[in-house]
Structure formats: structure tokens, C-alpha cells
Structure 1
Amino acid sequence: MKLNIGLVLGIMEIALLDLVLCGDNIGIIALATRNLPPKSAKLAGIIGVTGAIALRIYFAICISAFLNIRWIPLRLIGGIILIKVTWDLISSTEKEEEYHGKSSQKFWDAVIAVILADVSMSLDNVLAIAGAADGNISLIVIGIFLNVPFIFFGSQFVMKLMQKIPMVVYIGGSILAFTSVKMIMEDNLFKHYIHLTHSTEILLQMAAAVAVILYGYNKVKNQKIRADVSKEKISKVS
């Protein structure tokens, strides 16, 4: 009985820890799937979350071995990947015309974006979960899978919010930009060659986030201007 209670408490600990750490992942799914039709968005979210969680579990199991190899720049690689994914997500509206008639390509692009961004941002999460589980694979697997419904349905809500308020897209993008720069600067290889004060690191992280917000504000403003011009032309014709 004591063993069962310990197992349940361990699973609850991992589930709660993963739940607290996965807030950004909800935004990732919403960002990546917002331009898909509702049914396709849900399917892309399910496939993306499944793939990302499978990789997260794998990394959590193997993380101790990776950490013993000091020269592997995990956070640096993850941060660079996340910068690329962030740019693809916030600039995706400019590419919508290229995807016209290529719904399958757009669908799989969204799935890949979910997986890459989720895994990149989950490196720190995985470290925390692996430590809390103390090497118990069962705790890691069950604890992470318990949060799948919350992540998926939470992303659906955020996606609807993004469709109603375009700036939400860029607020999410700014969080990804902040995180990506933070991950790069926290990497041991980066710190070995580049020495920055803590205040400088914070300043650069904030600058990345603000840059995305300004980019988004300008983009939304221009889209509104174009929409108003189009309405005026239509009203004149009619």
C-alpha cells in the first residue's frame, strides 16, 4: 500500500511540475495551427503534441547521459532552432498565398513547427522532470501524458483568441523570442566564449521580445490600413 501511495504521489508531482512548465507550449500549438481550418488545426495539434511528448519523454529518459557530456551545447542548439521556428510562426501570414492549394504542405508544416518549438522550449522542463522523477521512467511517462488534454484544449482556446485579436500572435512570438535568446545565453559553450553581465543578458532578451512586439504592431497596423483601403474601393464601386 505504501508503495502504491508513493507511486501516486510521484505521478502527481511530475504531472503538476509538467503542468506548470508547459504554459508556453499551449501558445506554441496555437501559433502553429492558427491558419489551418478548424478540423485540420485540431488534427495537427494532436499529431504535433503526440510527437513532441514522445520526444520529451525520450529526452527525459536520456537526459542524464547527455548532461554527462559537457561539450554538447543542448541549450544553444535548442535556442537556435527556436529562433527559426519563432520567425516562421510570426511571418507565416505573409506566406499564406504560397500555400494556396497546398493544404497538405501547410498542415505538415504546422505539425513540424509544433514539435520543433515544443521540444526546443521543453529542454529546461525535461531537466526538471528528470530530476524530480529520480530516474523512474514510469513516473516520467504517466506524469507527462496526464497533461495532454490540458495542453491540447488550452491551445484551442488560445488559437481562437489569436484569430480575434491579431496582436496575441506577436505577444506569443515575443515570449518565444525571449526564451530562445535566454537559452542561447545560458548555454555553457556560449558562456565559455562570450562573457556578458547578467544585466546585459536580460537587456538582450527583452530587446528580442520587444522587437517581435514592434514588428507585430507594425504588421497589424499595415494590414488594417490595407483592409480599410479595400473597403473604400468596394464602397466606391458599389
Structure 2
Amino acid sequence: MAPDLTWHALIALAQVVMIDITLAGDNAVVIGMVVRGLPATQRRKAIIVGVASAALMRIVLALVASQLLAVIGLTLAGGVLLLWVCWKMYQEMRHPEEVEGSTQNGTLGQAIFRIILADLSMSLDNVLAVAGAS
């Protein structure tokens, strides 16, 4: 392999890794925010399900990333979904007693549903960004 080509490949790999690390941090924040009101035993289960679902979604979405990039407007749809999740989390942080379905009085099932929904939007953004950079 030519040295010039090797450097370009390494730079591209570094870009993909940095994008992935940067965008993966939001999953941990969301999971932490959602599970904070659950009892300790349920909190652990929700965290495990959240992390596993995020990893699984990224694998599945990465397998079809080239097809997803061909769909016009999908990146915009992922961004809108991510904005909706962020708005809901902001409302809960600002006024936790007023938010309907708050996890502070919610169930494990509600927490897992919210984590999976957030994971889906963030995983889609992550995969599209990495695929676009590569």
C-alpha cells in the first residue's frame, strides 16, 4: 500500500472514531437522566437494557447505513426526533413534577421505553454521521 494512501486511511479512521466517541456520550447522559428516579434494582436493569439496545441499534443501523444515506430527508428526520427527545428531557429537568409520565414515579417499562426511543434517535444520528465521514 502506498504511504500516502495509508495516511489518508488512518486520518479517515481517526475521524470516524472521534465522531463516534463524541456522539456516543449522549447515550450515557440520557440513560442516567431516565433512570435517576427508579429504585436501585430497577435502575441497574434499565441501564443494562439501555446500553445493550444502543449497541444493537448501532450494529443494525451500520449494516444498512449506505441505504439510509440514499433516503432524502432522513438525516433531517433523525435530527427532528433528537430535538424532540431533548425537549422532553429539558421539560423534565425544569419541572419534573409537571411532566406527564415522569420516571420519578414511573415504572421500569416506561424508563426502558424512553431509553430505547432516545437510543434509536441518537444511534441513527451517530451512524449517519460516521457513514458520512467515511
Q: Same fold (TM over 0.5)?
A: yes
Q: Do the aligned residues in 1 keep the contact of 2:16 with 2:130 (CA within 8 Å)? A: no
Which residue does the alignment assign to 1:88? 88
Measure how far apart 1:77 and its partner are. 2.1
Alignment map for 1:56-135 (pairs within 5 Å) = 56-70=58-72, 73-92=73-92, 93-94=96-97, 106-130=107-131
In structure 2, list runs of 5 or more residues that go unmatched: 1-9
1:82 maps to a residue whose letter is: L
Task: Give the whole-Å Cα distance in 1 for the aligned partners of 2:22 and 2:84.
Answer: 25
The equivalent of 2:7 in structure 1 is none
Partners of 1:122 and 1:98 lie apart in 2 by 24
Q: Deviations over 1:86-131 (max 9, x none)?
A: 343334422589779x75xx21221122222222123342134446
Which structure's CA Rg is the greater one?
1
Alpha-carbon distance in structure 1 between the residues aligned to 2:113 and 2:23: 21
| Structure 2 letter corresponding to 1:27 | V
Q: Distance in 1 between matches of 2:116 and 2:24?
A: 13
Instruction: Output the CA distance in 2 between the equivalents of 1:47 and 1:114.
Output: 8
Name the Cα RMSD after superposition: 3.3
* Cα deviations by residue, 1:55-112 (Å, 9 ceiling, x for unpaired): 1211111010121233xx2223223322332343334422589779x75xx2122112
Unaligned residue ranges in structure 1 (runs of 5+): 1-8, 135-238
Count the aligned residue pairs.
118
Partners in 2 of 1:61 and 1:94 — Cα distance?
41
- TM-score in terms of structure 1 length: 0.40
Higher fraction of helix: 1
Alignment correspondent of 1:32: 34
Q: Which gives a bigger RCO, structure 1 or 2 (Cα 8 Å, sep 6+)? A: 2
Q: Contact (CA 8 Å) 1:61, 1:130: kept in 2 or not? A: no
Cα 1:99–1:113 shift into 2, 3 Å? closer
